[in-house]
Structure 1
Amino acid sequence: MPTAAHPDSSNAQSIPSNPWWNKPIHDQRFLKIVCVGAGASSLLFAYKLQRSFENFELTLYEKNEDIGGTWLENKYPGCACDVPAHAYTWSFEPNPNWSSIYAGSDEIHEYFSRFTDKYGLRKYCQFKKSLSRAEWNDEKGQWSIEVTDLATGNTIHDWCHFLINGGGVLNSWKWPNIPGIDTFEGDVLHTAKYDRSLDLTDKIVALIGTGSSGVQVLPAILPKVKKVVTFNRSATWVLPTQAFQQRYYTPEEKESFASDPKEFGDHRRDLETRLHGLFPLFVQDSPLQKALASTVHGAMTEKLKGSGLEDKVIPTWSVGCRRLTPGVGYLEALVHEKTEVVTTGVKKITAKGLVSEEDKEYSADVIICATGFSASFVPSFPVIGSGGKLLAEAWKDEPINYLGLSTPEFPNYFMLPGPNSPLGTGPFLIVLEAQADYALKFINRYQTENIHSISPKLEAAQELMQYKDTQMKRMVWDLECPSWYKKGSSSGKITALWGGSSLHYLETISEPRYEDFNFSYNGNRFAYLGNGFSQTEKDMTADWSYYLRDVDDGPLLGRAKHRRVVTKSGTVERSQAELNGTLKVL
């Protein structure tokens, strides 16, 4: 194999001083990245960066004492994922040993812990450290970071080329704003800060909230307590969890999953496919929407029959307008003799109990606040972009974003996930994988080109918001109902969701539209072309005629043909029932 020649040093004075000019094309410069949090999305990003990149430094600053985010923090009774466990894994990291269709928070945390340890990701994590400020320095092309050491209270100063916000969506919890909450003489718990050491045996428990956590808590605590007073100010649709009944896998099933890849793969694909098939449910007046509304209304009415709660607990708005609430055993618990349902909110809290909005006082030994999280998507710390722009101020009316991943005037900043991501329309972990891949495509260009900074164009983000608002008119989320999808309002703009299915989103972000981004450069934008030599010529172990082949096995460049290959088109036969649910909408 010939040896690569090098430029004559006698011509060195004619070569520009820019360091890129003296290296082969696509030289990998040092890359420094900081991630917010060590939950699922940040751990995934760390894995993918480690797998595909070299010459980098990565730090995950995590406020807690361990990895896991949501699944570390939420330990309340009955806490579980409302997505089937085999559809709540990374696409490349299946787990044949899930105990049941819907795994509890401990089991899910164990899954992410094993993933972290298997790929050696803890070395990137710094625990008990919380980001307290991030400011873009345009002169340096870097983020200046301040981190609070929660163990000492000291401030740590750091920097990075890229800031990745993997802090999650529903992780900013707070106590409900109820007068007198500090005067209560018993224990006050929040579902996101639950104390498992507290024994509820024979206690009178007041439960505030009817969201997903409240619906899970009630049936879980009912066997132990003396009585539950549940404050159901808001009605909510309660249905079989994501259309799959809960059950435990037998030892024989788990053994078969571990030993028979085809059976296991078929089971995983069946769950994922059925979740994708739920999307027509969210289209206004679709056949599936109408059928499910009728079915769920009938099922709820049957379980509540004779209780007098039918008109108070069953919503009047469309099914799916707010997040579908899984409810294994919830309606049965509502009508149980140990449960008292209060259909108003809490006016105030006293030393001995709670006063309803109707001025009736209810005594309690323990208060559990299942009151959810802030869904504003604004980080809990100030993020300051170009020209001193504060993200909280830029997003005060609506979080203007580009594909749920980035936002104008905040360079080298990605969110996993950000606002208007497909959070409730199908499998979600595959969406996180696609978002991480998308961000890394830009980071790859940054590392191997002389790019100073990258941010989406304002006009591109604004047009995406216009598309989103138009598309949402077709969806049930746009109908009148209180929802965190709209930052808690009944009729505001939908800030949490993507306007299409999960598969629609995956196709949307499969290829970056680089033309929608502002790229600024260090000097001549083509300086990265370097000294005229390729990276292949630099590698003396590479095949310099790698492009020779016997058949054309290259990727198909037309979208339609490429999509058919990627999605294995022609390998699956849909049933007529499945087709009827989707095609009538299309």
Structure 2
Amino acid sequence: MSHLSAHQKATEYFKGLRPGPPEPSGATVAYRERDELAYALSRVPMLTPRPLRIIAAGAGFGGIALARAIHAGQVPGASLTVFEKDAGVGGTWWENRYPGCACDVPAHIYQFSWAPNPTWSAFFAPQSEIRDYFKNVVDQHNLGQYIKLSHKVVGAKWNEDRQVWQVEVVRTDGRDLVISSQGVTEGQVGESWVEECDIFVNAGGFFNNWKWPKIPGREGFQGRMLHTAYWPTDADKGIEGKVVSIIGNGSSGVQVLPAVLPHVKKIYYHIRNPTWVTPRMAEKFAGPKGTTLKYSEEQKRTWSENPEEYLAYRKAIEKNLTERFFMYMDNSTAQKQARQACLDNLREALAAKPELLELLTPDYAVGCRRPTPGIGFLEALMSDKVEIVFGSIAEFTQTGIRTDNGYHHDSETIICATGFELSIAPRFPIIGRDNVDLQAAWKNKPESYLSLAAADMPNYFTILGPASPLAHGSIPTSIEFVVRYICKFAKKMQTENISSFCPKSRAVRAYQNHALAFLSRTAWASSCSSTYKNGTKTGELRSLHPGSRHQLYHLLTNPRYEDFEWTNLCPDPDLMFAFMGNGFTVKEEEGTENDFWFIEMDEAGKQIVPCTNEFRANGNLENHSTVNGDGILESHLAVNGNRST
């Protein structure tokens, strides 16, 4: 590991580009004794990128998108290492394998824009297919060279003196799934070591830190206890022909119930709070009543052979779902229409047991909790094999579950569909400037800058941090915009002699204030216990972006560099423009600056037509004007070179 500072590494690099004494006028002599780096820069053209090293934690959508950006040359000269704790890529889609696991966003927009897949089998893709998609993307785009599997990041610390991140890494034993909970070392092997980088990206995601429910007696239960986020390969032994209890009424519980129903003897389905099931919200493109549409081989072939037709289909789905953001505005017409559609669907599905309608109707706005299509869920609740148990659970017993009203039932297997630890805090310590620990700072009241940066964390980005578009539609598209934003900052570092950047504390604070003010008028602020409020009913909405995806994308497309503090590699403030180099650009020296882009006509431009007698005779110009000696605009016609007035 090198112990050079960022300034020293840059100096060595630029000196190496122009070894030996300079030619006459080949360097800025005034810089020779003032700053070795500034002098070295004065010998090379502007926009010469210096090497940067980027480290990312996590090979889900974020880490893979970053790998592709580097591979595609978006940051020339940058190197990247993506450390992934698991034995495969895909993040949450590698880890979650429970029966019925599928994406609740249409598959054809739940993908990278640069790796479209026209052969999805269904409108809502199953987990196994999404997992295979990740593997195919990495293989076919040659991104595996950037990814180190079975390597877990366990800490990161900023070195202010040397302007680098020091990232602590440890190998894991190759098991499929490595737990990322704070303090858990299961699966780690050997001693950790430190790798250094200029930019550190936490792409570990949000839905990967699973938890057992905090219910007394779990260790004493004598049957089989399963968790949807840590599904064992032999789980079917605890399900087939068994009496099963399911705890959790969120996305995973809604999916697992209809999937295991055909295999069990009986199910006790526990509902503490009802949730909105929204199949008809996807009805325009999905199957009848929002069921998942299965695509024919002919349809897949058509899209494969006609990329433009496939793109038009994807855009139509995207438009339909993106426009639903109006639904999240509290008491809006769109919110009322969504509620009525959900009620109609609920009433129709529960026709055989109308007494359940009131019990299964939420008292909060549609969208307060993540809406789920719930394919087959309501129908499963109507099965004679399903007994719905309302209310909270008091304890696990040796043989089953006791609710808070004293009701007890025996179960051979308990499935906990209780989700994840909801804190947005990093899974490992991240120590920034002045020893600020981001893990501690974000534990209770996380504050980010545009979801991707944090105060006191130089050269640091997070993907899906606080104030992310978690509920705004397709996540992969948003991640691509975040990655482009990261690349813009990396290129600015490379070519403008910058050692570090960090969002100003007041910018972070102001953004958070705006976010909380806006989100208070949305459906997300309704009284429900949700992921977005850290599992509470009344908590602050610190995990969601305060606006539409379109709004976020505009913000990310044009970075507000003024919201950041910048540190120059040359400590002398009078040398802040040393990056201008030898007065020329890289392309000029390479001889490739030959397109003369600066004289191209813009979209509003118009070619001028010569002013001839024939032109005027056709009625195209009645007169033209000049300014006389008194500065007055004077109209006249020119005939045969003479001015007539």
- Same-fold call, TM cutoff 0.5: yes
| Counterpart residue identity of residue 203, structure 1 | K
How far apart are the structure 2 equivalents of 1:546 and 1:410?
Answer: 40
**For residues 301-345 of structure 1, what are the alpha-carbon distances to aligned partners after superposition, in whole Å with 9 as ceiling and x for unaligned?**
332242533232211111111211221111111121111111122
How far apart are the structure 2 equivalents of 1:276 and 1:555?
Answer: 30
**For residues 250-308 of structure 1, what are the alpha-carbon distances to aligned partners after superposition, in whole Å with 9 as ceiling and x for unaligned?**
11111111122332122111111101111111111211111111221232133224253
Task: Measure how far apart 1:40 and its partner are.
Answer: 1.1
- SS across alignment from 2:450: coil
- Tell me if the contact between 1:417 and 1:435 (Cα under 8 Å) persists in the aligned partners: no
**For residues 515-565 of structure 1, what are the alpha-carbon distances to aligned partners after superposition, in whole Å with 9 as ceiling and x for unaligned?**
00111112132222223332123314x2x4321688415899xxxxxxxxx
Q: In structure 2, do the counterparts of structure 1 residues 449 and 417 end up closer, same or farther at CA, with 3 Å as the change threshold?
A: same
How far apart are the structure 2 equivalents of 1:149 and 1:498?
Answer: 35
- Tell me if the contact between 1:41 and 1:166 (Cα under 8 Å) persists in the aligned partners: yes
Which residue of structure 1 lines up, in the alignment, with residue 68 of structure 2? 47
How far apart are the structure 1 equivalents of 2:67 and 2:28?
Answer: 43
How far apart are the structure 2 equivalents of 1:176 and 1:525?
Answer: 55
| Counterpart residue identity of residue 516, structure 1 | D
Structure 2 stretches of 5 or more lacking a match? Answer: 1-17, 174-188, 284-289, 606-645
Paired residues for 1:368-387 under 5 Å:
368-387=415-434
User: Which residue among 130, 137, 140 is the counterpart of 2:162?
Assistant: 140
Which residue of structure 2 lines up, in the alignment, with residue 201 of structure 1? 240
Task: Measure how far apart 1:395 and its partner are.
Answer: 2.1
Q: Does 1:262 align with 2:317?
A: no
Q: TM-score, normalised by structure 1?
A: 0.90
Q: Does 1:495 align with 2:542?
A: yes
| Counterpart residue identity of residue 201, structure 1 | E
Tell which structure's C-alpha radius of gyration is larger.
2
| Counterpart residue identity of residue 347, structure 1 | A
How far apart are the structure 1 equivalents of 2:45 and 2:459?
Answer: 25
Q: In structure 2, do the counterparts of structure 1 residues 522 and 296 end up closer, same or farther at CA, with 3 Å as the change threshold?
A: same
Task: Measure how far apart 1:237 and its partner are.
Answer: 0.7
* Percent of aligned positions that are identical: 36
Task: Measure how far apart 1:449 and its partner are.
Answer: 2.0
Paired residues for 1:89-488 under 5 Å:
89-151=111-173, 152-199=189-236, 200-240=239-279, 242-244=281-283, 245=290, 246-305=292-351, 306=353, 308-488=355-535
Q: How many residues align?
A: 551
Which residue of structure 1 lines up, in the alignment, with residue 10 of structure 2? none
- SS across alignment from 1:44: helix
- Tell me if the contact between 2:27 and 2:43 (Cα under 8 Å) persists in the aligned partners: no
- Tell me if the contact between 2:533 and 2:540 (Cα under 8 Å) persists in the aligned partners: yes
How far apart are the structure 1 equivalents of 2:190 and 2:210?
Answer: 21
- Tell me if the contact between 1:219 and 1:330 (Cα under 8 Å) persists in the aligned partners: yes
Task: Measure how far apart 1:9 and its partner are.
Answer: 7.0
Q: In structure 2, do the counterparts of structure 1 residues 531 and 243 end up closer, same or farther at CA, with 3 Å as the change threshold?
A: same
Q: In structure 2, do the counterparts of structure 1 residues 372 and 459 end up closer, same or farther at CA, with 3 Å as the change threshold?
A: same
- SS across alignment from 1:258: helix
User: Which residue among 42, 57, 63 is the counterpart of 2:79?
Assistant: 57
How far apart are the structure 1 equivalents of 2:520 and 2:604?
Answer: 37
| Counterpart residue identity of residue 301, structure 2 | E
How far apart are the structure 1 equivalents of 2:534 and 2:435?
Answer: 26
| Counterpart residue identity of residue 507, structure 2 | A
How far apart are the structure 1 equivalents of 2:251 and 2:443?
Answer: 27
How far apart are the structure 2 equivalents of 1:304 and 1:342?
Answer: 16
- Tell me if the contact between 1:241 and 1:325 (Cα under 8 Å) persists in the aligned partners: no
Q: In structure 2, do the counterparts of structure 1 residues 104 and 546 end up closer, same or farther at CA, with 3 Å as the change threshold?
A: same
How far apart are the structure 2 equivalents of 1:146 and 1:555?
Answer: 54
Q: Cα RMSD over matched residues?
A: 2.1
| Counterpart residue identity of residue 104, structure 1 | P
- Tell me if the contact between 1:82 and 1:241 (Cα under 8 Å) persists in the aligned partners: no
How far apart are the structure 2 equivalents of 1:36 and 1:263?
Answer: 37
Q: Indicate the larger mover: 500-509 or 296-305.
A: 296-305
How far apart are the structure 2 equivalents of 1:89 and 1:11?
Answer: 50
- SS across alignment from 1:278: helix
- Tell me if the contact between 1:129 and 1:147 (Cα under 8 Å) persists in the aligned partners: yes
How far apart are the structure 1 equivalents of 2:456 and 2:252?
Answer: 36
| Counterpart residue identity of residue 429, structure 1 | P
Task: Measure how far apart 1:410 and its partner are.
Answer: 0.5
**For residues 14-60 of structure 1, what are the alpha-carbon distances to aligned partners after superposition, in whole Å with 9 as ceiling and x for unaligned?**
62412333322222212111101111111001101221233222111
User: Which residue among 519, 536, 545 is the counterpart of 2:594?
Assistant: 545
**For residues 172-231 of structure 1, what are the alpha-carbon distances to aligned partners after superposition, in whole Å with 9 as ceiling and x for unaligned?**
111112222122222221111112322221011111100000000000000011111111
Structure 1 stretches of 5 or more lacking a match? Answer: 557-586
How far apart are the structure 1 equivalents of 2:24 and 2:558?
Answer: 37
